[in-house]
Amino acid sequence: MTNFVTVSQMVKDNELKVYNDEALMDGKKITTSDISRPGIELTGYFDYYPSERIQLFGQTESAYSRSMTENNRYKVMLELCREDTPTLLISRNIQPSKELLKAASEHNVPVIGSELPTTRLSSMITEYLDERLAPRESIHGVLVDVYGIGILLTGHSGIGKSETALELVKRGHRLIADDRVDVYQRDEKTIVGEAPKILNHLLEIRGIGIIDVMNLFGAGAVRSQSEIQLIINLENWSADKNYDRIGTLEDKRTFFDVDVPQITVPVKVGRNISIIIEVAAMNYRAKKMGYDATKKFEDNLGLLIKENEEKTKNDGEGK
């Protein structure tokens, strides 16, 4: 789990500008995705000031501060800039006042900004921090994008997950992560997976070694991350086990607070696992669009049973 994001990393990732000494960003850590817009604080009320949050200045805050005297403005800015204040963020390319810059520099608080409107900037930074600060889990598996559906392949080591991913890439699909997948919860309904940095775009094939998928197949063969929408567990075929043949057995795997549907695909000689995975992706999408082949089969079966019952009844009455 990532406990913090550095201000310098946030500035780099979001292409923000720095208004005072960039050295002030060294060691500054952001530990919460909550962003505060100092409104009542500008009037001098600091009894419940959330100083650990990013302090965001928009047009309203900037206009109000300009209406203050230089002395009062400096005093308020000193109160805003505390030891645990990670940074002051200014939207719309608004030039910070000299009092703000002076107070921030005296208390080692970086002042950064963006040309974006305040609401958009707040949403962008909040989403960025939610992602970076989210609890994470590293799992064994392969994550691929098949027809726009994020599919996590799981199974025992040596079952053929990486080889299946390679064939899917050859068929025009995209690799997100091989061997280890870092997963985190983006929101109440979404689990996202990505590769650890050391394994980014790399795939291990036994007998060949490590290959760089992006280098061999191009940028269109990889993705940096993907929502995990379906889990396909590969396991060796067993004659003693009954596998789902209709699609009525519903399984799931829970990551954090989110349930992800899971199906089991038996592996044996002669089965083309890549094509099966492609069909599973298309079938998942069809279900999301409201078409369920299993339900159609059950409805057809029900109609057939009803027709046979009526035919038997009519035959009985005709005797």
Indicate the annotated binding residues for Mg(2+): 162, 204
Residue 132 annotated to the active site: no
What tokens does 96 get? Answer: 């910070």
Residue 212 annotated to the active site: no
Q: Of 17, 98, 140, 241, which is the active-site residue?
A: 140
Annotated binding site for ATP: 155-162
Query: Over the range 199-219, which residues count as b (16 or more CB within 10 Å of their CB) and which as e?
Result: bbbbbbeeeeeebebeeebee
Residue 313 annotated to the active site: no
Three-class SS state of 107: coil
Three-class SS state of 232: strand
CA–CA separation, 127 and 133 (whole Å): 10
- Comparing CA positions, the residue from 153, 183, 168 lying closest to residue 262 is 153
Output the CA–CA distances (angstroms, integers) from residue 35 to 87, 135, 223, in the order listed: 11, 19, 30
256: left (phi over 0), alpha (psi -120 to 50) or beta: left
Residue 140 annotated to the active site: yes
Q: Of 75, 107, 130, 179, which is the active-site residue?
A: 179
Annotated binding site: 155-162, 204
Q: Of 73, 132, 161, 174, which is the active-site residue?
A: 161
Q: Of 47, 206, 240, 245, which is the active-site residue?
A: 245
**Which residues does the annotation mark as catalytic?**
140, 161, 179, 245
